[in-house]
Amino acid sequence: MAIQKIDRNAVTEIRQKLQDQLDSVAAELGVRIQVGNASYDGVGNMNVTYKVEVAVLDADGNVQDRAAVDFARDAALYGLKSDDLGTEFVCRGKTYRITGLQRRARKAPILAELVGTGKTYKFPAVTVKMLLATA
């Protein structure tokens, strides 16, 4: 079925089809390729732009995206150790795994995914440091 206009449903459908195609390219090249956020003109409904991120995998097959590299490089600036990357901590009864650092997020620069869902959350560095110390 041909898409007649770009709306929220079309953006979602196109993103999924792009991701499906890029997954095979990523497997062939040994990288992770992920279709990210999209922006589209709600007025003309004719164009959409997607962000696409390509990340190299380390020897263990883990993604080395920008946030992970930034964490490894700058963790000490936030009172953490570079090898805290991948460490799990518990906050409000839920387990999170540290995945990276976003330096521009001044209040909550530490990125962590909720174990089990993979959804990413931001945490203040002081909070993560305290929770790691109690673990």
Section 100-125 average pLDDT: 94
Model's pTM, two decimal places? 0.63
- Binned at pLDDT 50, 70 and 90, residue 44 comes out as low
Alpha carbons 80 and 64: distance in angstroms, whole number: 19
Q: State residue 8's pLDDT score.
A: 87
Alpha carbons 67 and 104: distance in angstroms, whole number: 11
Alpha carbons 97 and 85: distance in angstroms, whole number: 8
Q: State residue 81's pLDDT score.
A: 95
- Cα–chain-centroid distance for residue 32? 11
Alpha carbons 106 and 78: distance in angstroms, whole number: 11
Alpha carbons 72 and 26: distance in angstroms, whole number: 24
Q: State residue 65's pLDDT score.
A: 81
**13-43: per-residue pLDDT in tens?**
999 999 999 999 999 999 999 998 999 876 7
Q: Contact, 97 vs 87, CB < 8 A?
A: yes
**3-class secondary-structure state, position 23:** helix
Query: Does residue 117 have a pLDDT over 80?
Result: yes
Q: State residue 56's pLDDT score.
A: 85
Helix residue spans in 1-135 (DSSP H)? 8-29, 66-74, 125-134
**45-68: per-residue pLDDT in tens?**
788 999 998 988 878 777 778 898
Query: Does residue 87 have a pLDDT over 90?
Result: yes
Q: State residue 90's pLDDT score.
A: 96
Alpha carbons 128 and 59: distance in angstroms, whole number: 27
Residue ranges of domains in the chain: 8-62, 66-134
Alpha carbons 109 and 105: distance in angstroms, whole number: 5
